């Protein structure tokens, strides 16, 4: 009686089949996996670079941040000019050039009556005293400088042109001083006269 034939019982045939499978396996699978690994490596490098960019930028900003600019003196109301020299410290010498004295004789001042909500304009000669009508205010008008400029030693006018008009004014109320300082026509908010009932502003100079 013949024995049943078992599949794969022939060693030679099994070896041929195994050899055939390994020999004819497609190389494209390994290449594809290698390509995927390269792509993942590149993506990882790109992601790491993106994380480093903000840190590097912040470090550069810290290194490149300039120091604060030094405080500069100059005309009040101009950018970067301090208000301190006008508000305290020793009083500076006021020098009025001869050409300014020869060109300007008075100033126009506006007085605001806050309770009445009205304003009036007055022309007052330089170096004179003026009593504001219907009030107990007295204006002592000092030097007028059409082009106000200030140095460490003095206050003067750079020219006789009205590029930065300013006037030194003292305000008395009931005989008591309530304000003394420079009023600026182009910069009325610099060192203004502050009062509950009145406001005083310099409008312009008056030529001879």
| pLDDT 10s digits, 15-65 | 445 444 444 455 555 666 777 777 787 777 776 666 666 655 555 444 444
Higher pLDDT, 130 or 32: 130
- Alpha carbon separation from 9 to 2, 12, 18, 19, 115 (Å, rounded): 15, 9, 14, 16, 122
% residues pLDDT > 90 (the chain): 55
Taking the model in full, what pTM does it have? Answer: 0.60
- Alpha carbon separation from 143 to 59, 78, 96, 166, 167 (Å, rounded): 54, 21, 7, 8, 6
State pLDDT tens for residues 182-191.
999 999 999 8
| Structure tokens given for 133 | 């009508």
Of the listed ranges 76-85, 119-128, 148-157, the least confidently predicted one is 76-85
Domain boundaries, the chain: 13-64, 91-207
Residue 193 has pLDDT above 50, yes or no: yes
pLDDT, position 94: 97
| Structure tokens given for 142 | 């000092």
Residue 200 to residue 168: CA distance in whole angstroms? 12
Mean pLDDT of 73-97: 59
């Amino acid at each position: 009686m013949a024995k049943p034939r078992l599949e794969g019982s022939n060693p030679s045939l099994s070896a041929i089949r195994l050899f055939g499978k390994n020999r004819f396996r497609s190389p494209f699978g390994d290449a594809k996996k290698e390509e995927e690994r390269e792509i993942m490596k590149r993506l990882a490098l790109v992601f790491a670079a993106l994380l480093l960019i903000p840190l590097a930028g912040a470090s550069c900003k810290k290194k490149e941040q300039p120091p604060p600019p030094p405080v500069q003196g100059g005309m009040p109301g101009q950018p970067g000019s301090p208000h301190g020299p006008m508000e305290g410290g020793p009083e500076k010498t006021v020098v009025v050039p001869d050409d300014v004295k020869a060109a300007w004789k008075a100033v126009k001042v506006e007085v605001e009556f806050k309770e009445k909500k009205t304003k009036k304009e007055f022309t007052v000669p330089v170096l004179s005293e003026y009593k504001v009508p219907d009030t107990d205010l007295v204006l002592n008008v000092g030097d007028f400088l059409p082009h106000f400029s200030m140095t460490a030693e003095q206050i003067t006018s750079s020219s006789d042109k009205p590029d930065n008009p300013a006037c030194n004014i003292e305000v008395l109320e009931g005989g008591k001083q309530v304000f003394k300082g420079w009023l600026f026509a182009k910069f009325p908010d610099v060192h203004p006269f502050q009062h509950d009932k009145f406001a005083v502003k310099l409008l312009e100079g008056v030529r001879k």
